Structure 1
Amino acid sequence: MKKPSKQVRYMIGMVVDATGSGMYLPLSLLYFHYVTGLPITKVGVIMTSAAVVGLVSNPVAGVLIDRFGARTVVVGGYVLRAAGFCAYPFVDNGVFMFAVVLPVALGDMSFPPAIQSFVAEIARGTDRDKLLAAQRSLRNAGMGVGGLLAGAALALGSDSAYHLIVICVAVGYLVAAALIRTIPTDRAAPPVGGRPSRKGGYLLVARNRPFMALSLLNVPTAFGYMVLSVSLPVYLTQELGASSSMVGVLYAVNTVGIALLQIPVTRVLGGYRRTRAMALGAAVFAASFVFFAVLGTFPKGTAVIVGVFAATMAFTAGELLHGATASALVAQTAPEETRGRHLAIYQLSWAVPIALAPAVLTALLSVSAIGMWLLLAAGVAGAALGVLRLERRLPEAAVHPRPSVRPADEQPADEQPAGEQRPVGT
């Protein structure tokens, strides 16, 4: 029986991962409140503290990726998180909680640069865009299925339901690690005489001005991505007078839309410059934020509710255009020999806004809700223009995706005939 291609094995691993995450993420605060009896606010402080400390794993992951390969870091992160989740049922106080949440946070923070580097090692050209699109689509579907499974488990009314969920998450991480471990990668062969030099560390990344500019331009867009979970629920209920149940409906519109449309949208974008598609996505984001701002000037009623759905669909369209395309562009812009460190820096442009968004966006909301939307729109529109201006300074292969020369189920690099090994991204 023929072994599934590495892309198929990869996607199965991502679905297993996402299903487990979908089971736990909606219950993360409630779980520790339930098992420890700690106040929900204290649980939040402990989890946030662990996440902040976990940021140190991002640059460390970059070094480890360049030294040992992305696959090793992905698998190690899965095992680390699985160990943490296995310890969750034994938590009975705040100190112990921090001790078991921290390794999970370290694994979480190391995952984005590692998985992006891993995709760059197993797919090239337009195949990379397609794989990232499939990943986004299936992960959204997996998260939804995980949420349904968690709801079914908790509906049983058993005290052991919470523990069952975290153990299932741990098992899911181990299964994903086992699948990823079987996938051969296509790292560049070392030159005659030893490994290629990676001297200079993060100084090399700092000197790569086009890449640093690309990372900085992502910051306002990253804040924009956070509005669905941070700003919109407050804006809907407190400013527009909508019911809290609508928050879940709008979230479903976004996740289902991405699950169904990301692959066909990315297929259409394959013939266009990645920078143009990325900028268009940011521009659509900006338009959706202006739409949200305008709704705040309307009297409350049915028209506002319809407008909210339209603005959310525009937000989803922006995400469809921007998400997978931006990931592919950044992965191919990063030089292969220091790709891990480059992507670790880029992921900080996500991690920092994600950490700051709850405080920053709620503070802006308290000053002026309409002003917050317009400020976000200006920032994201500026990022779109910046990407277009940066286009000429980026590698041609990163801007213009080309079909991969290799078949989808290529052999491991060490089994290929001599002369066929090429660095990813060339």
Structure 2
Amino acid sequence: MTGMKGFWNALPTEGRWLLSTVAIQTLGRGLTLPFTIIYLHEVRGFDLALSGTLMGVIAVTALLVTAPGGTLIDRYGARAVLLVGLTTMIAGCALLAYATHPAVAAVALVLMGVNFGVSWPGFNALVASVVDGELRQQYFGVNFALVNLGIGVGGIIGGFYVDVSDPATFTVIFLADAASALIPMALLLGPLRHVRTNGGSDDDESAPTASYRSILRRPVILWLTLITFVAMFIGYGQMEAGFPAFARQVSEVSTRVVGFSFAVNTAVIVLLQFTVLKLIAGHRRTRVMQVMTLVWAASWLILGATGLLPGSITAAIGVLAFMGVFAFGETMLQPTIPAMYNDLASDRNRGRVNAVNAAAFQGGAITGPIVAGLLLDQGWHAGYIATMVVGCGVIAVLAIALERRLPAAANGVPEPAAVE
């Protein structure tokens, strides 16, 4: 695998445009990501269970629009669908900034969920249409590092800026999140306006079928989707709800520590992602996921231990350590799953294959905040941590099952192998 300079030189112009603004456009997301549930619970006064459920509204909406979104991507292209999604994101963030009633917050989160539902398959389809081969896995990994750079810097700024006693500070960060969506919109209307992702009409009888039914009939897709769901449930489904709530209510750390923890997460990803990409190149992606589960299990045990010394410096250090170890696991997961889905897809069904991936992601994001809110609201702190650790073990078992069905090329191994 080449270095960063070689990777950049190998990218087509469209790929460079996509990567060059990632960190800036995700800065707004970083401002709000660690603090949305804190905003709903501590600023607007909604109880913790309701706040967790409201956070799940984003994922419920995203799940509902993901399937039709994937179909529209295959029919009309990712660019058009992404522009619609970004418009709803701007409206949702602006509305949430002034939401003082749960119903208003719910509407805002629905609008944001529309964008999340179409942006995952849309962006992945856009990337896959621009890069292929080994460059694709590298791209997903580098892009992930840049996304986290923007989110991490935003988390630091947000941690210093927001004040639970001053609702106006939260209004500002949500409006900034809305403004950040204008950057990808400008790219899609300008330099990327000619990028094509759709493979033609479904009425083209000479092309193979691209229906969801045919996609989901493939056992390898089903196993990969199940892994994605569990990984999202115990991973990213907890980053906006379970982790901040545990850190505040159980570990009793400040919002500043929560913000800094996201910065630690970012630092680990940015510093290690390219190194990890070099280490995993040529290795089975399913084996990489098994290593990742051990790392994630360790991170959740670290977080659980912080509850033994609430409000202490040790607890604060533990919260930061949790995010650092968790981030190391992320550097193994994020380049592999999107690459596997897109290596199993064709240009004809890429939008829908990525929509299946997104649906699993949103499914985990739906159940994650709800389960976290219920467990923590009932004071079942140890049970919450245990649930996360057991989930890591489930992923390891599923990865072993997937390996027997996954084609060698899709598993990151160049040698040919029989499919299933």
TM-score (norm 1): 0.75
Shift, 1:363, TM fit: 2.8
Contact 1:272 1:400 in 2 (8 A): yes
5 Å matches for 1:100-249?
Answer: 102-146=110-154, 165=176, 168-178=179-189, 181-182=192-193, 184-185=195-196, 196-198=207-209, 201-225=211-235, 226-240=237-251, 242=253, 245-249=256-260
Q: How far is the alpha carbon of 1:198 from its aligned partner?
A: 2.9
**C-alpha distance in 2 between matches for 1:195 and 1:122:** 24
Moved more, 68-77 or 103-112: 68-77
1:9 Cα deviation from its structure 2 partner: 0.6
Q: Whole-Å Cα distance in 2 between the matches of residues 311 and 159 of structure 1? A: 26
Instruction: State whether residues 80 and 103 of structure 1, in contact with CA within 8 Å, keep that contact through their aligned partners in structure 2.
Output: yes
Give the structure 2 partner of residue 67 of structure 1. 75
Q: Which moved more, 1:307-316 or 1:369-378?
A: 307-316
CA deviations 1:293-325 (Å, max 9, x no partner) are 466668996666655554443222111111222
**1:392 paired residue number:** 404
Contact 2:36/2:240, CA 8 A, preserved across alignment: no
- Deviation, 1:385, is 2.2
Q: Distance in 2 between matches of 1:159 and 1:370?
A: 31
CA distance in 2, matches of 1:287, 1:32: 30
**Structure 2 match to 1:41:** 46
For 1:111, the aligned partner's letter is S
RMSD (CA atoms): 4.3
Change in Cα spacing, 1:397 to 1:153, as seen in structure 2 (3 Å) is: same
Deviates more, 1:164-173 or 1:387-396: 164-173
Q: Is the 8 A contact 1:222 1:354 kept in 2?
A: yes
Report the AA paired with residue 269 of structure 1.
I
Residue 324 of structure 1 is matched in structure 2 by: 335
Q: Which amino acid aligns with 1:344?
A: A
Structure 1 residue 346: Cα displacement: 2.1
User: How far apart, in 2, do the equivalents of 1:167 and 1:204 lie?
Assistant: 38
Q: Distance in 1 between the 2:100 and 2:150 partners?
A: 30
For residues 318 and 125 of structure 1, the distance between their equivalents in structure 2, rounded to whole angstroms, comes to: 23
CA distance in 2, matches of 1:239, 1:159: 23
TM-score between both structures, scaled by the size of structure 2: 0.76
Distance verdict in 2 for CA 1:358–1:203, change over 3 Å? same
Distance in structure 2 (CA, Å) of the matches to 1:98 and 1:161: 19
1:124-147 residue CA offsets vs partner (Å, 9 max, x unmatched): 122111111111111111223445
- Residues in 2 aligned to 1:5 and 1:219: alpha-carbon distance in whole angstroms: 34
Q: Distance in 1 between matches of 2:38 and 2:87?
A: 24
Mapped pair 1:382 → 2:375: no
Equivalent pairs: percent with the same residue? 25
The amino acid across from 1:378 in the alignment is: V
Counterpart-to-counterpart distance in 2, 1:299 and 1:26: 20
Aligned counterparts of 2:170 and 2:59: Cα–Cα separation in 1: 27
Q: d(CA) in 2 for partners of 1:337 and 1:187?
A: 7
SS class of match (2:89)? helix
Q: Partner residue of 1:371?
A: 383
Distance, in Å, in 1 between the alignment partners of 2:113 and 2:273 is 28
Q: CA deviation at 1:97?
A: 7.1
CA contact (8 A) 2:62 2:114 kept: yes
SS at match of 1:141: helix
Q: Deviations over 1:221-271 (max 9, x none)?
A: 212214444334444455455555433332221122112221221122112
Amino acid paired to 2:188: A
Q: Which has the larger radius of gyration?
A: 1
Does the residue aligned with 2:335 lie in a helix, a strand or coil? helix
Q: Count how many residue pairs are aligned between Structure 1 and Structure 2.
A: 396
Higher alpha-carbon deviation: 382-391 or 295-304: 295-304
| Aligned position for 1:255 | 266
Which blocks of at least 5 consecutive residues in structure 1 are unaligned? 404-426
The 8 Å contact of residues 79 and 177 in structure 1, kept in 2 or not, is answered as no
Partners of 2:250 and 2:92 in 1: how far apart?
40
8 Å CA contact 1:17–1:176 kept in 2: the answer is: no
- Listed one character per residue, the Cα deviations across residues 52-87 of structure 1 (whole Å, up to 9, x for unaligned) are 334321111111122223343334423443466678
Deviation at 1:160, TM superposition (A): 9.8
Q: 2:349 aligns with which of 331, 338, 346?
A: 338
Q: Distance in 1 between matches of 2:188 and 2:257?
A: 36
Which segment drifts farther, 38-47 or 358-367?
A: 38-47
The letter of the residue matching 1:398 is A
